[in-house]
Amino acid sequence: MSDEREIELLAGVPDGLFIDGVWRAAADGATLDVVDPATGDVVKTIASASVADGVAALDAADAAFPAWAATPARERAEILRRAFDLLQERKEDFALLMTIEMGKPLAEARGEVAYGGEFLRWFSEEAVRANGRYGANPEGTGRMIVTQHPVGPCFLITPWNFPLAMATRKIAPALAAGCTVVIKPAALTPLTTLAFAKLLEDAGLPAGVVNVVTTASSGPMSDAIIADPRLRKLSFTGSTPVGVSLLEKAAKGVLRTSMELGGNAPFIVFDDADLDKAVDGAIAAKFRNIGQACTAANRFIVHRAVADEFARRVTERVESFRAGRGTEEGVVIGPLIDDKAVAKTGQLVADAVERGATLRTGGAEIDRPGSFFAATVLSDVRPGSEILREEIFGPVLAIVPFDDEDDAVRIANDTEYGLVSYVYTESLSRGQRMIERLQTGMMGLNVGVVSNAAAPFGGWKMSGLGREGGAEGIHEYLQTKYTLTANPFA
Ligand code: NAP
């Protein structure tokens, strides 16, 4: 580990499970090591929850639920708001912690703190607006009252790529709605969630409302929680195959589910696009988080008339990127999360080149400690290449030429996913047509990043179910009750 500030920061992160307001070791004493992917060094060893610990966390969430649900919305909102304020005070610590355990450049980690924090502020505001309605039935014989109620204890599972934002995007609406939670972060990046639980404790959150179970064996522990009839909701962000298997398990208890799954985003550049803007958008949409975002542009579908110029310009930009540990000044390309990710990225590039793509730059791992892959541009990627079907999750920009609008739409929609799409055109009517024709939960029209706490984030098709953020987000944690009363004048 490099410096005293990092050593001090890591020493301050709890190393236990957080169950019923108590930090403690796993029942069986098991631990898991957290590694810095830029160096391969173990940076901290923390508790690894067993099945019994997972059930204990659900016990706590279940016991805390009635009092938390009955807490006035304003009080719940104020705790979330205090958490937002504390996060602003600790933003440098959270940014550095994410860079250490996940690898993203520090500037991007700061961006994630800003984005992740907004969910606390947004849902502190939404907490007091989760209203029902009152009205006469059409026959005039009665009055219909519709009320909203928290669904109950929730199980939240988050991925490693946005360790803070994926946690706040789930915890904030759950708490705002009056639900209690058990959260399981990814074993690769658990430290941010532990530090965030500490922050919630400092913000005055009552014991048992948020419980954190870090574990090296997510399957058995999660299965036990999901099978428990006290659980009422499962919210998952991660890969589509794991999401599908969790949905099958959740079906047995008829659980409410939210699924934020994989993507395969098209990024379409028409020949009437402003190419400068399109190149800027492409760089942001592709290389944010070193390409490891569900919203990362996966397929650059570029009109043949501008494809070569687009490839030339993005290649020039990519060749200026500096690779290194995310704490170093000016680094754009941090490490991938682990060596498996490096190997998979290499395979996708090799397959595309074998099938006839042109390798413009990059294309190989970087020879240094840690899990690094060079920023890569491929042009003329041929139909049938694996890189067009699979989520790349690495810094590879793959360009496919197209000839007309129908062609672009066909290629863009030719995927089982439908999370986000990006379109660059200066034509208003074409932009409007694309809004209607693309099979996608979200769209960036002449912008390369769409995420915002005020927006309903979520996908179509195999990209998921439900929405996080926006006015919709809190309803994932509320259930509706309808009551009919007699006409008071009858
Ligand atoms: P992943 O392998 O599916 O893991 C996601 C989470 O599920 C982790 O906490 C993981 O824990 C846990 N998990 C894995 N197997 C499990 C099981 N059998 N039972 C219970 N939990 C289990 O995905 P990832 O590699 O971490 O994340 C990348 C994926 O997430 C990509 O596909 C990306 O597109 C997607 N993603 C989607 C969104 C969105 O909003 N749509 C946002 C971010 C990421 P362990 O790793 O500790 O086992």
The one catalytic residue among 294, 391, 468, 476: 294
Any domain includes 99: yes
Phi, psi of 313 (to 5 degrees): -70, -40
Pocket probe for ligand 1: among 156, 157, 169, 468, the residue whose CB has the most ligand atoms within 8 Å is 157
What was the pLDDT predicted at 119?
A: 98
149 pLDDT higher than 60: yes
- Distance between Cα 112 and ligand 1 center (Å): 18
The one catalytic residue among 126, 260, 391, 468: 260
Same domain, 202 and 329: no
What is the domain-level CATH number for residue 401? 3.40.309.10
What was the pLDDT predicted at 108?
A: 98
Same domain, 253 and 269: no
Active site residue 125: no
- Distance between Cα 304 and ligand 1 center (Å): 36
Q: Which atom of ligand 1 is nearest to the CA of 294?
A: 34
What pTM did the predictor assign? 0.97
Give tens-digit pLDDT for 19-58. 999 999 999 999 999 999 999 999 999 999 999 999 999 9
- Distance between Cα 293 and ligand 1 center (Å): 12
Give tens-digit pLDDT for 368-380. 999 999 999 999 9
The answer to whether the CB of 366 falls within 8 A of the CB of 332 is no
Helix (H, G, I), strand (E, B) or coil at 35: strand
Give tens-digit pLDDT for 427-479. 999 999 999 999 999 999 999 999 999 999 999 999 999 999 999 999 999 99
Q: Is the CB of 294 under 6 A from ligand 1?
A: yes
Domain assignment of residue 304, given as a range = 265-452
CA 114, distance to chain mean position in Å, is 14
Atom 30 (ligand 1) nearest CA: 238
What is the domain-level CATH number for residue 113? 3.40.605.10
Assigned token pair, 440: 């996608």
Any domain includes 409: yes
Same domain, 320 and 244: no
Q: Is the CB of 32 under 6 A from ligand 1?
A: no
Same domain, 220 and 301: no
Average pLDDT, the chain: 97
What was the pLDDT predicted at 43?
A: 98
Same domain, 429 and 327: yes
- Distance between Cα 167 and ligand 1 center (Å): 12
Q: Is the CB of 159 under 6 A from ligand 1?
A: yes
What was the pLDDT predicted at 113?
A: 98
Assigned token pair, 223: 């299965």
Give tens-digit pLDDT for 319-369. 999 999 999 999 999 999 999 999 999 999 999 999 999 999 999 999 999
Phi, psi of 422 (to 5 degrees): -120, 140
What was the pLDDT predicted at 404?
A: 97
Atom 42 (ligand 1) nearest CA: 294
Q: How confident is the model at residue 2 (pLDDT cuts 50, 70, 90)?
A: low
Helix (H, G, I), strand (E, B) or coil at 84: helix
- Distance between Cα 154 and ligand 1 center (Å): 17
Any domain includes 488: no
191-202 vs 165-177: helix crossing angle, rounded to 10: 40
**Structural domain count, the chain:** 2
Helix (H, G, I), strand (E, B) or coil at 266: strand
Sign of the torsion angle spanned by Cα atoms 470, 451, 292, 351: positive
Report d(CA 69, CA 63) in Å as an integer.
11
Same domain, 282 and 240: no
What was the pLDDT predicted at 349?
A: 98
Same domain, 313 and 447: yes
The answer to whether the CB of 191 falls within 8 A of the CB of 44 is yes
Same domain, 37 and 179: yes
Same domain, 76 and 191: yes
Active site residue 260: yes
- Distance between Cα 393 and ligand 1 center (Å): 13
Atom 46 (ligand 1) nearest CA: 186
Q: Is the CB of 242 under 6 A from ligand 1?
A: yes
Same domain, 242 and 333: no
Place of tokens 């250490």: 100
Same domain, 242 and 118: yes
Same domain, 161 and 31: yes
1 pLDDT higher than 60: no
116 pLDDT higher than 70: yes
